[in-house]
Structures are given as C-alpha cells and as structure tokens.
Amino acid sequence: MFERLLFEAPDFFTYYNVIFLLEAAARTLGMTLIGCTVGFIAGLLIAVLRQSVNPWTLPLRVIAIAYVETFRRIPFLVIIFIVLYAIQPLMENASLLTIATIAICLVSTAFLSEIVRAGLESVPKQQIEGARTLNFGAARTLWYVVLPQAWRVILPPAIAFAVMFIKDTSLASHIGVVELTFSGKMFVNRGFSPLLGFGAVLVLYFLLSYPLSRLGTYLEKRLDPSRRS
C-alpha cells in the first residue's frame, strides 16, 4: 500500500494537480466563510428579534424559533438534497456551488443564531436597564452596550462552529461541487491510489481547520469573562 503511494507521488504532485487541489481548498474555505458571515449576520438578526418583547413581533418570533429548531434538527445532507431540488426549478442556472452555499447559509444561520443568543443573554440585565434609563433606544443599547460586552462570549463558540463547518462542507461533494472532497474523488477516479488522493485531501482539511481551532481555544482562554484582565 505504501510502496504504491511512493511510486505514484511524482505523478500526483504535478504543478496542475497541486493548483487544482489548492483551488478546491479555496472553494471549501470560501463556502465556509460565506456561510459563517451570512449565518452570523442573519443569526444576529434572529437573536435580536427573539429578545424583543413587542407583541407586534410575536408572529415573527414564532417563525424564527421554528426556523432555528427545524434547521438544527435536520441532517445537513438532507438539507442539501431539499435545497438542490427546491432551487433548481426556481433558478434554472444556479450553479451547484451556489446551491451548496445556500444550504450552508440556511444551516449556519440556525446554529449561529443560538450562539449569538447565548452571548446576548450573558450581558447582565442591569446593563440594559442602565441604558434604558439614559433614554437609549433598542438599537443604541444593542450597539453601544450589549454587543461590545457579548462578543467575547460569542466569538469562541462561533469559531468552534466554523471549524465544524469546514468539515461539514465536504458533504457538498455529493451533489458535485468541486471542493476538497470532490477533488479527492476525482484523483481516485483517475487511477491514483485512494490513500494518496484522500490522504492529500485529509491533510489539506487539517491545514484549514487546525489553525482555526487553535485560535478558538486560545480566544476561549483569553476572553473568558471570569478572568478578564
């Protein structure tokens, strides 16, 4: 098994193959980045909405809770299938990458909204009351008082989530998005040994994920509100 690996290596690590792999890795990273950015913004909106006590927003809040609970309880693979077949009739020339990215954003919004909500709830109620008595509106309270204190609670789990998500995007290979996992499959189909093809892919995933997960554990210790400097 390992002789075959050594034997094939020179053919495998050609300039074009390496570029191809790196492009695939960039696509994996890109999907994760877009997913986490969109998910964070939409998740923030949902989390803020859920904090509202205005009776007019009640229907919206019910929808938001239903959305979050639904998308956190369905396998990502199933969501990909549903999005694939739901989007194709609507947008005839949507690329597979677009479809996968939409599925990713739907899921990341649900998970990140819960992470943001936990962060918002970690800010003591007295801070918000202080702002209200100074005549701060909801938006100003959020911007000047809540978010500056909540971010240190939000960031570490949000990064841990991004680390999970880098790996989950591998499922997009199933519908044919040419990301890292798919590139591994292509090399294996071209006759390279599976250990070489998938091994290279595993290494690249590791290189994407490990620094981020280290950053996450570092920030978790650094930002721990119970021992802030």
Q: CA-CA-CA-CA torsion for 157, 162, 168, 172, nearest 10 degrees?
A: 150
- Binding positions for other proteins, 90-119, rule CB under 8 A: 90
15 vs 142, which CB is nearer to other proteins? 142
Q: Binding segment for other proteins among 6-14, 19-27, 98-106, 139-147 (CB under 8 A)?
A: 139-147
* C-alpha span between 145 and 128 (Å, rounded): 7
Q: Which two tokens stand for residue 11?
A: 């053919």
Please tell me the count of residues contacting other proteins according to CB under 8 A: 60
Which residue from 79, 104, 116, 155 is in contact with other proteins, where contact means CB under 8 A? 79
8 vs 23, which CB is nearer to other proteins? 8
Which residue from 33, 63, 82, 190 is in contact with other proteins, where contact means CB under 8 A? 82
Which residue from 18, 26, 33, 194 is in contact with other proteins, where contact means CB under 8 A? 194
116 vs 163, which CB is nearer to other proteins? 163
Which 3-state string (H, E, C) describes the chain?
Answer: CHHHHHHHHHHHCCHHHHHHHHHHHHHHHHHHHHHHHHHHHHHHHHHHHHHCCCHHHHHHHHHHHHHHHHHCCCCHHHHHHHHHHHHHHHCCCCCHHHHHHHHHHHHHHHHHHHHHHHHHHCCCHHHHHHHHHCCCCHHHHHHHHHHHHHHHHHHHHHHHHHHHHHHHHHHHHHHCCCCHHHHHHHHHHCCCCHHHHHHHHHHHHHHHHHHHHHHHHHHHHHHCHHHCC
36 vs 166, which CB is nearer to other proteins? 166
15 vs 36, which CB is nearer to other proteins? 36
15 vs 101, which CB is nearer to other proteins? 101
Question: Can residue 69 be called a binding residue for other proteins (CB under 8 A)?
Answer: yes
178: helix, coil or strand?
coil
Please report how close the Cβ of residue 199 comes to other proteins at its closest, in angstroms.
Answer: 7
Please report how close the Cβ of residue 198 comes to other proteins at its closest, in angstroms.
Answer: 5
Return residues touching other proteins (CB under 8 A): 1, 4, 65, 69-70, 73-79, 81-82, 84-86, 89-90, 126-127, 129-136, 140, 144-145, 148-149, 163, 166-168, 170-171, 173-174, 180-181, 184-185, 188, 193-195, 198-199, 201-202, 205-206, 209-210, 213, 228
